Structure 1
Amino acid sequence: MSGFGDGYVGTAQDAVKIRRLEKQREAERRKIEELKNKSADGQPGLLQFGSSTSEILETAFKKETVGLVTREQYVEKRVNIRTKIEEEEKEKLQKLQQEEEELQMQKRKKRRVKGDPRLSFYDDIENGSDEDDFENQETQKKNGPIKLGKDPTVETSFLPDREREAEEQAERERLKKQWLCEQELIKNEPLSITYSYWDGTGHRRVIQVRKGDTIGEFLRAVQQQLAPEFREVRTTSVENLLYVKEDLIIPHQHSFYELIINKARGKSGPLFHFDVHEDVRTIADATKEKDESHAGKVVERHWYEKNKHIFPASRWEIYDPTKKWERYTIHGD
Structure 2
Amino acid sequence: MSHADAGRLIHLSKKREREKEDIEQRKKQVEDEAKKREGMIFTFSKIIEFSEANIGSKFTANYDAVEEHLKSATVGLVTLDDMRELQKDVIVDREKKLARGEDESKKAELSKSKGTAEKYTQKRMLSFVGNDEEEEEEIVIVSKKRVGMDPTVDTSFLPDKERQEQLAKRKEELATEWKAQQEKEKNEEITIAYVYWDGSSHRKNTRMKKGATIAQFLAKAIEALKKEFTELKSCIPENLMFIKEDLIIPHFYTFQDFIATKAMGKTGPLYEFDAIGEIRLRQDAALDIGESHPAKVVLRSWYERNKHIYPASRWEPFVPNKKYKNSELDDLKNI
Calculate the TM-score normalised by the size of structure 2.
0.48
Higher alpha-carbon Rg? 2
Higher share of residues assigned strand: 2
Q: Comparing both structures, which one devotes a greater share of its residues to helix?
A: 2
